[in-house]
Structures are given as structure tokens and as C-alpha cells.
Structure 1
Amino acid sequence: MGEFITNIFNAFLELMRQFRAVDVLDIVVVAFLIYSLIKLVRETRAEQLVKGLLIMIIAWALSSQLNLKMIKTLLDNFFQFGIIALLVVFQPELRRALEHIGRTKIGTRTFSVAKEGESLLQQERKCINAVVEAAASFQKSKTGALIVFERQTKLGEIVDTGTIVNADPSAQIIGNIFFNKAPLHDGAMIIRNGMIYAAGCILPLTKNDSLSVDLGTRHRAAVGMSENSDAVILVVSEETGTISLAINGVITRNYTRETLKGALENEILPDVAEDGDRRPIFSSFRRVKKDEKK
């Protein structure tokens, strides 16, 4: 027993002699990647898929130990194409992960003079005020609306499905676009850098089956867009006039004029530094308590 402990201790000392400072960085990076992967899986429907995969791996190990040749052969053939199958099954989650990496601040800072940064901030404040005023009007008249605030993820493919407007924002223009007899009222409006950039755009619908059956196409399109980008999507229900926001795949409802303005400012307004760099705020938005009825 003493010799066994001595051998383990000597092996540990030998390992420590070979340990380099760069190995610490290697371990930290790998640990962070594993943590990020687990966090990504837990936040999506991939959690159930991973559980199923783990069950199959356990079944393969047991079949190997118990010499269950038929089961082992079937699982061996399955795992031969496992990587391709994982890429197909987890395609939405992998895309979301890569987009999330692309939203980091590395290489995304836009250098400009302080005056330009302040001008952009004022433009976005003006846009938020116009959207809030229009949404409050839509809430009273029960006019349906779908407005997308573009952030880091560019929505060029979504813009291509609609019509370029590139107009200075105002409650009147937004009201005209979503007037129920206007040609662009059924689609989504895209806000880019505080400007009404496009309208009549088609958004991808969410595949989340856990959403309330009371949510219509506009709400499902808003959630779908928020799942595929970091955009902030505002929805006004045509049936009830309820104002909702979709961010990162989560929809919160029952906003008032005041709470809507606060939430949009918190999510969209950049933090303009003294040198004029634009740094978007990625703070978590405050959830608004859902009422039991739409």
C-alpha cells in the first residue's frame, strides 16, 4: 500500500515538473468552452437531444460490457455517422452559438469622433420616442405592428424580403406604414442606427412549441427573429393592443408607454464614451409580469 501511494506521489511530482504556465491558460480556455457549451444547451431544446445522446452512449457501453453483439453493432453503425448527424440535428444551436461569438466586442468597435457618437445617440433617442408614441397609439386603436431594432447582428437577408424606406423616424410615418390598408402593414419594420431602414419584411417563425397558443403569427415571428439574432423586436397585438418585446428568444408582455420607453432605452441606447466609440449595452432586460389573458 505504501509503495502504491509513493508511486502516485512520484507520478504527481513528475507531472508538476512538466507543467507550464501556458497550461493554465489551456485549462481555463477549455473549462470556459465546456461551461459555455453546457450553458448553451441548457437554454435551448438541445438539452433533450443531448440527454438522448447520453442514453445511447450508456447503452453502447453496456452492450460492450455485456457482449450484446446485435445492439453494439447497431450503435457502432450509428456512431460512425454521429458527427454528421450532430451537425444536422444541432444546426440551429450551432448557428446561434457562432452568432453569439460574433457579437463579442472583439473587432466590433466602431471608431468615430465624439461629435458623431453624440449625434448617433440623439438619433436613437429620437427613434425610440417615435416608436413609443406610435406603439401607444396602436395600443389604443388595436393596430397590429412588428418593429425590429437591429443591433450587432446585421439583418441584410431580412431587409431583402421587404422594401427599403430609409426615412427619419416619426410617429406619423410609423402610423402610415402600419395603417391596415397600407401595402407594407403586414410585414416587419427594420430600425437601423435610429432610422426606419426597411418595411414589409418577412421574419422567420419560431419553432418553440412551448409558447402560448394565444400568441399569433406576429408574436411567433418576433420570437423567431430574436432567436436568430440579438435584435430587439416590438410587437403590438391586433386583437388586444398588448405591447410585447422579444429578446434572445424570450417574449415579455403588457408594456405601458413608460415601461416600454425604459426597456428600449436600456436595451438599445449605446454607451457613448468620451472618444466617441459606440458600445452597445447588453444588459438583461427587466421582465414584465405576464397577465393570465392575452
Structure 2
Amino acid sequence: MTIFDFLHFTFADLLDILMVAVLIYLVFKWIRGTAAMNIFMAIMSVFILKVIVAALNMNLMNAILSTFIDVGVLALIILFQPELRHWLMKFGARYVDMTGKGRSMIDKLLGIKEKKMGGDSLDEIAEACRMMAEQKTGALIVIQRNNSLNYVIETGDEVDARISRRLIMNIFFKNSPLHDGAMIIRGDRIVAARCTLPITSRTDIPAKFGMRHRAAVGISEETDADVIVVSEETGEISFVREGRIEKIGNINELKLLLGAGENLSEDN
């Protein structure tokens, strides 16, 4: 059914235009303020030129621009592979997995059992952080929630031990071979240490935060994991969730945040 016969404008055309507009808006919002913005504007300019050339039936120029766009898209995928990977993981974590019931059904079909952290483990982690803060021992602890961290665990050394404050402090002791990197906790177990985390590309993080904080923000942007950072320079404890850094005033506050994350995991 046509809306305007003289334009041959159908509902499908309207839907097509709206979808393209939304796609351009999302891409623009995603890359705004980054180096990719200039490249995106250049590609859009070439695409608009191609549409004009095609409308004028300039076949040779149209073929050249089509080839340029095809090669350019492939080059962009290779060039911005880390950014694309980050965006896809974020999309999967935030939008695809919006309902916990669907995830629970999939987990049951695959035989995946949910691993929850007990109150004793929360106390052990909090007390370890308090003692490391007093001694100004740097630490980076990642607590897995729903999203898998296997690709991070593979970068470190497997531990698979019960959570205890003494073990956590020994791992992050300055002369320990496992102190450099992140500790991964899943359920009531320390599953790995000396793991490498993705570093965030954000430029709005205050200069007072070092690489531990940037790594904490990076993994919390890609997954729903909670991260605890103990600063080696100041002894301050920070809690990171969904890319937001929150300074911890006391251990009870840390316990509440960890408990809230566990309750969120249970609700999902």
C-alpha cells in the first residue's frame, strides 16, 4: 500500500528509513568523542556520494565507491576489533539477558548450577581488604556474577581454594609470585590469580586512579562482575560496578555492596 503514489513511498520504505536512522544514531552515540568519529563521518560522506552517483547512473564511479566502502568496512572491523568486542559483550550482558527466567531455563538445560557466595565468604573478603588497606597492600579482586569470566581466568593461574582472608593476603603479598594481576572469585571459591583484565579506554577517569582501577573499570564494563581495588599508594578501598568507582568508607559499607550484588544475582 502506497502512502504517496507520486513518490512511490511505502510503509516498508518508512520503516527502512527509521531503522537506518536509529542505527546511525546508536553508532554516533557509541563513538562520540573518540578517534573513530572522524572515520565514521568520512564513511558517511562517501556513502552519501555513492547514493548520489547511483541516482545519476554513473556506473563506473558507483562501482569504485562500492568497492571502497566494502574494503573500508572490513578495515574498520579489523582496526576497531577491541571496541567492537567490548560493545558486543556489553550488548549481550545488558540487553539480550534482560530476564533472569530465560537465563535460568538455559542454565538448567545446560546443567549449569548457580554458585552463590555465603555470608562467611563475604566476611573473609571484607576483612582481608581491611587488613590489606591498613598495610597498604595493593589488591584487585573480581567477583563473578552471571557473566562467565573463563576468558579472563585462562590468562592467570588456577587456584581453586576456599575463600579465606589469610590466603587472599598471602596471594597479594608484595613478594608473592601471584600478587601481580587480578584474583577471580566465583561462589565460595578463589578460582584463579594473576589474571589479566581488559583496560578501559575511557578518558574521564581521574588521574589519581592507577592501572588497577582502570582494569577494574574495564572488566566491569564488559561483564556484570563486581570488583574491589585496594590502593597500594593510599590504602583506600574502592568498589567498582558497571564502570562506576565508589570509594569505600568502612568495611560494613563494603559488605553491604557485596551482599547487594549477591542478592541481585539471586533475583536474576
Q: Same fold (TM over 0.5)?
A: yes
Match among 36, 41, 48 for residue 54 of structure 1: 41
Per-residue CA shift, 1:237-257, capped at 9, x if unaligned? 000011123333x24142122
2:143 paired residue number: 149
- Aligned with 2:247: secondary structure? coil
Residue 121 of structure 2 corresponds to residue 127 of structure 1: yes
Measured on the aligned residues, the alpha-carbon RMSD in Å equals 4.0
Q: Please give the alpha-carbon distance, in whole angstroms, between the structure 1 residues aligned to 2:245 and 2:218.
A: 14
Q: Please give the alpha-carbon distance, in whole angstroms, between the structure 2 residues aligned to 1:99 and 1:107.
A: 18
Contact 1:96 1:228 in 2 (8 A): yes
Contact 1:40 1:97 in 2 (8 A): no
Contact 2:90 2:222 in 1 (8 A): no
Q: Please give the alpha-carbon distance, in whole angstroms, between the structure 2 residues aligned to 1:153 and 1:223.
A: 15
Match among 77, 83, 105 for residue 73 of structure 2: 83
Q: Please give the alpha-carbon distance, in whole angstroms, between the structure 1 residues aligned to 2:44 and 2:265.
A: 48
**Structure 1 unaligned runs (5+)?**
1-6, 20-26, 273-278, 281-294
Amino acid at match of 1:208: R
Q: Please give the alpha-carbon distance, in whole angstroms, between the structure 2 residues aligned to 1:264 and 1:251.
A: 15
Please state how far the C-alpha of 1:91 moved relative to its aligned partner: 2.3
- Aligned with 1:161: secondary structure? coil
Please state how far the C-alpha of 1:197 moved relative to its aligned partner: 1.1
2:247 paired residue number: 254
Sort the Cα spacing of 1:165 and 1:36 in 2 relative to 1 into closer, same or farther, 3 A: farther
Please state how far the C-alpha of 1:215 moved relative to its aligned partner: 2.3
Q: Please give the alpha-carbon distance, in whole angstroms, between the structure 1 residues aligned to 2:172 and 2:166.
A: 10
- Aligned with 2:218: secondary structure? helix
Of residues 239-248 and 97-106 in structure 1, the stretch that sits farther from structure 2 once superposed is 97-106
Contact 1:127 1:194 in 2 (8 A): yes
Sort the Cα spacing of 1:100 and 1:180 in 2 relative to 1 into closer, same or farther, 3 A: same
1:94 paired residue number: 84
Contact 2:141 2:227 in 1 (8 A): yes
- Mapping of 1:1-294 within 5 angstroms? 38=25, 42=29, 49-50=36-37, 52-58=39-45, 61=48, 76=65, 78-103=68-93, 104=97, 105=99, 108-109=103-104, 110-111=107-108, 120-121=115-116, 123-248=117-242, 250-256=243-249, 257-270=251-264, 272=266, 279-280=267-268
Q: Please give the alpha-carbon distance, in whole angstroms, between the structure 2 residues aligned to 1:245 and 1:40.
A: 30
**Which of the two has higher C-alpha Rg?**
1
Q: Alignment length, in residue pairs? A: 245
Q: Please give the alpha-carbon distance, in whole angstroms, between the structure 1 residues aligned to 2:21 and 2:146.
A: 25
Q: Please give the alpha-carbon distance, in whole angstroms, between the structure 2 residues aligned to 1:44 and 1:247.
A: 22
Per-residue CA shift, 1:16-38, capped at 9, x if unaligned? 8xx9xxxxxxx6xx86x975884
Sort the Cα spacing of 1:36 and 1:167 in 2 relative to 1 into closer, same or farther, 3 A: farther
Contact 2:248 2:254 in 1 (8 A): yes
Amino acid at match of 1:171: R
Contact 2:239 2:247 in 1 (8 A): no
Please state how far the C-alpha of 1:235 moved relative to its aligned partner: 0.7
**Structure 2 unaligned runs (5+)?**
none
- Aligned with 1:98: secondary structure? helix
Sort the Cα spacing of 1:135 and 1:35 in 2 relative to 1 into closer, same or farther, 3 A: farther
Of residues 192-201 and 33-42 in structure 1, the stretch that sits farther from structure 2 once superposed is 33-42
Please state how far the C-alpha of 1:169 moved relative to its aligned partner: 1.2
Per-residue CA shift, 1:105-125, capped at 9, x if unaligned? 47531349xxx97xx54x343
